[in-house]
A and B are shown apart, each in its own frame.
Chain A
Amino acid sequence: MPTYSDKVMEHFTNPRNIGEVEDADGIGEVGNPVCGDMMKFTIKVKDDRIEDVKYFTFGCGAAIAVSSMVSEMARGKTLEEALKITNKQVAEELGGLPGNKMHCSNLGADALHKAIRDYMEKQGRESNE
């Protein structure tokens, strides 16, 4: 078991916003069981803002903490703002992640962006990224 920051442990112990948004406007899935981490983010969008965001995560302590943190960071943000959240920022907000977890488990922002793009595509819009 790697040494995790207090913040990671706190989010791992009490993960926020677990679940699936009902009648989701956008769905984003990343990862697979082979690499060990999978995340599924669902979002509800109102007036170009993320009104609700939830996730299901299969993965290690870092993956769960990352998902929880991303959900907190994204909630209430405009789509444009949420698209600017990076995996690096998520790791920073968590007080850092062990080096070997930076890539495989730190996929939360990717999953969130996928959900946003899914929404935009459904709306017939192109995302800027």
Chain B
Amino acid sequence: MKAINLDYSAATPVDEAVLQEMLPYFTEHYGNPSSGHTLGEKPREALEEARSKVGRLIGAEEPGKNQIIFTASSSEANNLAVKGIIAAGKKKGNQIITSAIEHFSILNQLKGLEKEGYEIIRLPVDKYGLIAPGLLEEAISDQTILISIQAANPEIGTIQPIDELAALARKNEIPFHTDAAAAAGWIALDVDRMGVDMLSLAGDQFYGPKGSGALFVRRGVRLRPLIEGGIQEKGLRAGTENVPAIVGLGEAARLAYETLEERAEKVAYFRDQLKESLFNEIPHLHLNGHPEKRLPRNLNISVEFVEGEALLMRLNMAGIYVSSGSSCTSQALKSSHVLEAIGLPPELAQGSLLLAPDRENRIEDIPYITEQMAQVAGLLRNMSPLYHQYLKEEKKNANLQ
């Protein structure tokens, strides 16, 4: 039985080298980094080494100038960024600007803040998922206390012009946060060049362990911790550090930095070959997201006339693992807010598939994937009322001509 994973944005395997780096910190170097004696030394050093490795990935190496706060996920980093800056209350105002296509770890906390009386502006995106800087400029007011816009979208892969957006924030002295969970390790990031004040990332997106994340915080940006207690992570995240996970995140960041160009190119090549093959062999496919400004490992397509969960299940039977933005595949039974925001009609949103390849994927598998996809699409279309309606209309049009 084949097993072809095209859902690597859900999880990447931990790199063997990363695992080897982590292992001693479970047993041999199990000490608490806060300990004053010898056992604390090695873990303490490991934390700082990991911090500098993560810093290098995002162009924030200079110690002292910037902070990297380790968290358990990018969701936590996003929460620390938004809630932390509001609680610190340095800048007065009640307006927060974001986009309509953020991750739920941004959107849901903003929904909560909206109930508390904050004004939330969710910038619309164009059909490719891009935010127009002009719209941000119009939205900024003297009440704006934070702007949070993702570096790239995890679902449709669209890469935002963060440098242009952040420049507007800086001009108006508003802190700018970017959720780079989908982007980190896959496109070159540099906090100074981008001009961002905070940046979130997660290790499990680039061969690090689950439960590892980080928030970059530029010096001068004041936050209040979500978790209060000891003074770990400069007082911004209490609790004994998860040293093995942090070491894993650091090593994954080092490898991601060193292999980025070659790996991104390889994965993008597979993605492009797969896309070409699918679009050549299967009629009525739609590409979601931007044709060029997209993450290397992202291909999002809609298979017209059919529903995503049924596609996912059928492909699963063929040993091909994908995900979908259909309402049936979400626990909340709502179709993807991202696909809605780019103006995709509901029937196309229901038939959406996210194909997220990786360096593990092999070009030789593309014919099998294409063949299975064509078969599954054909089978489900054959039982779809929308497809038969389309065929009837086609016939009618042909007769009229």
Interface residues of A, Cβ cutoff 8 Å to B: 1, 12-13, 15, 18, 20, 29, 32-40, 55-64, 100-101, 104-105
Contact = CB atoms under 8 A, between A and B. Distances in A.
Contacts of A29: 385
A62 B310 CA distance: 9
Interface stretch (B234-242, B261-269, B311-319): B311-319
A7 to B, nearest CB: 15
Interface of B: 305-310, 312-313, 316-317, 326-329, 331, 333, 335, 345-347, 350, 382-386, 388
A33 B386 contact: yes
A18 to B, nearest CB: 5
Given A56-B388, A58-B307, A64-B310, A18 B383 contact: yes
Contacts of B327: 35-36, 104
Nearest to A39: B385
Contacts of A32: 346
Given A20-B388, A33-B347, A36-B335, A12 B313 contact: yes
Contacts of A62: 328
Nearest to A15: B383
A36 B326 CA distance: 7
Most buried by B among A12, A58, A100, A101: A58
Contacts of B307: 36-37, 58-60, 63
Nearest to A100: B333
Contact of A1 (B305, B329, B347, B382): B329
Contacts of B328: 36-37, 59-63, 101, 104-105
A58 B313 contact: no
Given A32-B346, A37-B307, A60-B328, 14 more contacts: A1-B329, A33-B350, A36-B328, A36-B333, A36-B335, A37-B328, A56-B385, A57-B385, A58-B306, A58-B307, A62-B328, A104-B327, A104-B333, A105-B328
A38 B326 CA distance: 14
B348 to A, nearest CB: 9
Contacts of A105: 328
A57 B327 CA distance: 16
Nearest to B309: A60
Contacts of B305: 58
Nearest to B305: A58
A1 B309 contact: yes
A100 to B, nearest CB: 6
Nearest to B381: A58
Nearest to A61: B313
B177 to A, nearest CB: 33
Task: Please provide the 8 A-B residue pairs with the shortest distance between their CB atoms, ordered closest to farther.
Answer: A60-B328, A33-B347, A60-B309, A56-B385, A40-B385, A36-B327, A34-B346, A33-B346
A1 B309 CA distance: 7
22 contacts: A1-B312, A1-B313, A1-B316, A13-B317, A29-B385, A32-B346, A33-B345, A33-B346, A36-B335, A36-B350, A37-B328, A38-B385, A58-B307, A58-B386, A60-B328, A63-B328, A64-B310, A100-B333, A101-B328, A104-B327, A104-B328, A104-B333
A61 B309 contact: yes
A59 B308 CA distance: 8
A117 to B, nearest CB: 19
B205 to A, nearest CB: 22
A32 B385 CA distance: 10
Contacts of B347: 33, 58
Nearest to A12: B313
B333 to A, nearest CB: 6
B106 to A, nearest CB: 25
Contacts of B345: 33
A8 B345 CA distance: 29
A60 B316 contact: no
B326 A58 contact: no
Contact of B383 (A13, A35, A57, A100): A57
Contacts of B308: 60
B312 A57 contact: no
A34 B306 CA distance: 13
Contacts of B309: 1, 60-61
Nearest to A104: B333
Given A13-B317, A104-B333, A18 B350 contact: no
Given A1-B316, A33-B346, A58 B333 contact: no
A101 B317 CA distance: 21
Query: Could you say which of B313, B316, B383 has the most chain A C-beta atoms within 10 Å of its C-beta?
Result: B383
Instruction: Give the interface centre of B317, B347, B382, B385 by most chain A CB atoms within 10 Å.
Output: B385
